[in-house]
């Protein structure tokens, strides 16, 4: 019995040891899993870093290429600048030479002019001096003529403006008079048409026995037509004007004269 108890105790201790070993194994497995996940994360980080490194290497290569291009361009610019500076120095030298030549020629021309003027002053009868004097006098005369021409031009313009104003005023007055005459003409034509209508209606209603006294009575009407006149019209006189306006036949016109004579 004691051996059985010892064995059971030993078995229980071994079981406890086995449980402890299993716990340690599980802990180690968990640690291993954590290590593996950390390794995976590290690999991902390493891959990301490798990608970034490749991008940086590519960018560095591009920058180096651009830098080489910039250096080449800068060298070309320096060469061009040096060439332009040389050309500019040459142009400045040429300009200085041209200015010196111009100064020398100007001085020589001035000297010649002074000598020529001195020679002219020394001569008593010099044709050039006479020509210069004549030129001055002609210029003065031209200036005086220009002034007179301007004065005459201004006076002519003022005269023309005055004439145009007078013509405009006369035209306005004539237009007013023409309108008035036209109105009087229309009024006179209206009166004549009214008289014509009245006379024709009176002649149509009268008989043959009453025609002669009727024309005697209308002699005063025909004499009134003599006093009616207007601008641009010629008025007929007496009974002739009367018979023209009422458009009587010739026999009626003769009959009217016979009756009027008796």
Q: Which residue has the tokens 């000297």?
A: 111
CA pair distance 124, 39, nearest whole angstrom: 124
Tokens at residue 65, please? Answer: 């290429």
Query: CA nearest 229: which of 188, 169, 177, 176?
Result: 188
Digit-by-digit pLDDT tens for the chain (262 residues) are 567 778 888 888 888 888 888 888 998 999 999 999 999 999 999 999 999 999 999 999 999 999 998 999 999 989 999 999 999 999 999 999 999 999 999 999 999 988 877 777 666 556 767 777 788 889 999 999 999 999 999 999 999 998 998 888 888 889 999 999 999 999 999 999 989 888 888 887 654 444 444 444 444 444 444 444 433 344 444 444 444 444 444 444 444 444 444 3
CA pair distance 184, 187, nearest whole angstrom: 5
Tokens at residue 194, please? Answer: 């009214």
CA pair distance 262, 257, nearest whole angstrom: 9
CA pair distance 251, 127, nearest whole angstrom: 105
What's the Cα-to-Cα distance from 215 to each of 87, 202, 220, 256, rounded to whole Å? 123, 11, 9, 6
Which sequence spans correspond to the domains of the chain? Answer: 1-124, 184-261
Indicate the length of the chain as a whole number: 262
Query: CA nearest 232: which of 165, 158, 180?
Result: 180
pTM of this structure: 0.28
Decide: helix, strand or coil at residue 219: helix
| Predicted local distance difference test score (pLDDT) of residue 12 | 83
| Predicted local distance difference test score (pLDDT) of residue 136 | 87
| Predicted local distance difference test score (pLDDT) of residue 257 | 44
């Amino acid at each position: 019995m004691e051996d059985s108890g010892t064995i059971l105790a030993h078995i229980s201790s071994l079981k406890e040891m086995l449980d402890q070993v299993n716990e340690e194994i599980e802990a180690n497995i968990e640690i291993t899993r954590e290590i593996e996940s950390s390794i995976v994360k590290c690999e991902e980080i390493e891959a990301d870093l490798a990608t970034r490194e490749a991008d940086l290497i590519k960018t560095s290569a591009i920058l180096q290429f651009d830098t080489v291009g910039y250096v080449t361009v800068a060298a070309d610019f320096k060469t061009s600048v040096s060439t332009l500076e040389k050309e500019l120095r040459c142009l400045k030298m040429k300009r200085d030479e041209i200015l010196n030549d111009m100064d020398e020629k100007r001085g020589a021309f001035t000297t010649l002019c002074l000598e020529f003027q001195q020679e002219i002053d020394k001569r008593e009868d010099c044709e050039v001096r006479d020509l210069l004097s004549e030129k001055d006098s002609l210029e003065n005369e031209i200036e005086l003529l220009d002034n007179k021409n301007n004065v005459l031009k201004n006076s002519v313009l003022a005269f023309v403006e005055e004439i145009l104003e007078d013509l405009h005023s006369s035209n306005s007055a004539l237009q007013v008079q023409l309108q008035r005459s036209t109105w009087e003409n229309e009024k006179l034509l209206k009166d004549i048409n009214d008289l014509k209508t009245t006379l024709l209606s009176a002649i149509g209603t009268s008989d043959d026995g009453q025609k002669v006294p009727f024309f005697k009575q209308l002699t005063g009407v025909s004499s009134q037509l003599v006093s009616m006149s207007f601008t641009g019209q010629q008025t007929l006189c007496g009974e002739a004007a009367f018979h023209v306006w009422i458009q009587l036949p010739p026999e009626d016109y003769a009959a009217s004269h016979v009756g009027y004579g008796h």
